Amino acid sequence: MKIIAKSSHDSSFSFSRRYFNWKKKVEDDDDDNEEEILTFSSSSHFCDEVKEAEEVRIIPPPRKKLPVVSVSKLRSALSVFCKNRSVYRSGLDTKVVGTLFGYRRGHVHFAFQEEAKLRPAFLIQLATPTSVLVKEMASGLVRIVLECEKKTGKKEVKLLEEPVWRTYCNGKKCGFAMTRECGPEEWKVLKSVEPISMGAGVLPGNFDGNGDGSEGELMCMRARFERVVGSKDSEAFYMMNPDGAGGPELSVYLIRV
């Protein structure tokens, strides 16, 4: 008996034995030669593996249908959001607008705004008379320190939202200061000096047509301030000189101890 398909390596031959069946085919010729032919076995492990690979198919998860939103509704929602953000935004950037104002026989007000057209994010009324602060500023540099205490057992608020402050002007205690909301009178003053980027001046006592001017003239000073945040308990505002020379003439420090 002759074997036509014969391997030179035992390993390959055993592999063929494993996955293929050998059958004998007898020819009717005179030589009666018998040949072994290879036939593919459907019951072999190789066939089972192929069938399993064909049957296993990756089925992608069904997609969720997203709600269809019209472009007009989306645009209207974005426009309303941007409008409300510009009106009610109260945060402060590193560069802010600072305005000092007060009647000559009244008390000093400080207002810090992110932009001149926005309402102030921080407005405070000092116990110092306006005339006294003007004299201090005429003599040289002015350092105003506002100090408040931490509340124990209560939820801590943001530093700019503290209601009461101890005030020091160039190291001298000057009573207490109060954080205020921007009312109609304060807003009229800020709107009247809105076009001014930097400068100082005097407005008449009844510049808005109301009042008799008994408190004297309204003194105003406006400038750009640099805001520096040390921590959640300390901030500082430094007045920026337009020429960039020299130190700030006016600085305001907020400290919570």
The rounded distance, in Å, linking the Cα atoms of 172 and 158 is 26
- Of 2-16, 62-76, 133-147, the one with minimum mean pLDDT is 2-16
142 in a structural domain? yes
107 in a structural domain? yes
Is-contact 198 215, C-beta < 8 A? no
41 in a structural domain? no
Average pLDDT over residues 25-42: 46
Question: What tokens appear for 138 in the block?
Answer: 């005429």
Q: Look up tokens 């989306």; give the residue.
A: 74
Q: pLDDT tens, 117-145?
A: 999 999 999 999 998 998 888 888 899 99
76 in a structural domain? no
38 in a structural domain? no
3-class SS of residue 243: coil
- Of 31-35, 44-48, 245-249, the one with minimum mean pLDDT is 31-35
The rounded distance, in Å, linking the Cα atoms of 232 and 255 is 9
Q: pLDDT tens, 129-186?
A: 998 998 888 888 899 999 999 888 778 899 999 999 999 999 999 999 999 999 999 9
The rounded distance, in Å, linking the Cα atoms of 234 and 147 is 9
109 in a structural domain? yes
Domain that holds residue 182: 95-206+215-256
Q: pLDDT tens, 206-223?
A: 766 665 667 788 999 999
Distances (CA, A) of 23 to 28, 34, 39, 40: 16, 10, 7, 10
74 in a structural domain? no
Quote the number of domains for the chain.
Answer: 1
Distances (CA, A) of 21 to 36, 205, 218: 10, 115, 111
Within 100-168, residue ranges assigned H as helices are 130-139
- 179, containing H or E segment: strand 172-179
Q: Answer yes or no: pTM beyond 0.75.
A: no
Average pLDDT over residues 240-257: 83
- What single-letter DSSP state applies at residue 207? T
23 in a structural domain? no
